[in-house]
Amino acid sequence: MPDGLQLVLQRVERAKEQRVDLEREMRSWADAGAYRVASQLDPNTGQTLFYLDNVAAASPKITALIAEMIHSLRTALDNLAYQLFLICRTDPADEGEHVFFPIYDDTKPSKSDPFRPVKSFRDEIVDVFRKVNPCKTGNHLLWVLHRLDIVDKHRRILTSTLVHHSVFVRDALRQLLVNTGDSELLPLIELPPPFLTSTRTGKRAQVGDVLFVGQPGDEEVNKKLKFTFDISFAEPGIIEGKSIVATIDEMVILVEGIISSFEPFLI
């Protein structure tokens, strides 16, 4: 593999390593009591109401890892632009300080107006940049990556929030079938998804939110319910209510695809 391409891909691999670290930190944070679900009986209906009783802020390490992943992916693109610059450079004294991967807030430049940071690149390389369409309206996720990196580097720490995700019900369904004498149906519950999506999925979790309503007489079943939450971005005007881990996964695929599209020029 060419040295230049290897250097670029190392940045992406670093983001993947940081993602593994993030999941580990999120599990530790949750296990340490990041959120607590409590229950109470509704005297009017006999139903058991499960509600969010406590929410803790994400740990500083989680926040730092999120920012590091974003920066690793954005830097991979800038490194890519620099490697392309090196193969197009005609003046050995030109160090390429002006070169970066261009991402625009609105529309890309017209065909008669080459991308400013890559104007010295060969036409066929500039054409690939145009196909990538690096602007808010043309490649929105790429723009989100760019803006999040700017927020973290120049303004403040990225913000996130705990959001409702789903209710794990498989163990509860097993118990229900046992209670009703329908144990022969147990193999059937292995087929559907093990989670019930919350009606508040993607919405900011707040203390007091009712997450699930258990039916009267299902006390043993209710004990086996498990509630899951996710950490989502909370950057107004950029990205809100979207899972951080899922979004990072999409960004990794996006960046790898962009690098792949330029790979023929680096060989």
**Cα–Cα distance list, 202 to 6, 30, 139, 143 (Å):** 37, 18, 23, 21
Crossing angle for the helix pair 3-31 and 60-88, nearest 10 degrees?
170
AA identity, residue 118: V
233 lies in some domain: no
User: Token digits for 208?
Assistant: 């007091």
Average pLDDT, the chain: 78
235 lies in some domain: no
- Name 256's Cβ contacts closer than 8 Å, sequence gap at least 6: 12
Most confident of 26-40, 109-123, 176-190, 214-228: 26-40
240 lies in some domain: no
Enclosing domain of residue 106:
3-157+210-216+245-266
259 lies in some domain: yes
Mean pLDDT of 12-19: 95
226 lies in some domain: no
User: Token digits for 84?
Assistant: 């392309």
**Nearest CA-CA partner of 267 in 87, 143, 17, 120:** 87
**Nearest CA-CA partner of 153 in 82, 77, 71, 234:** 71
68 lies in some domain: yes
250 lies in some domain: yes
Q: Give the tens place of pLDDT for each residue, 220-231.
A: 766 767 777 778
- Whole-prediction pTM: 0.77
Please give the tally of structural domains in the chain: 1
Most confident of 9-13, 199-203, 244-248: 9-13
41 lies in some domain: yes
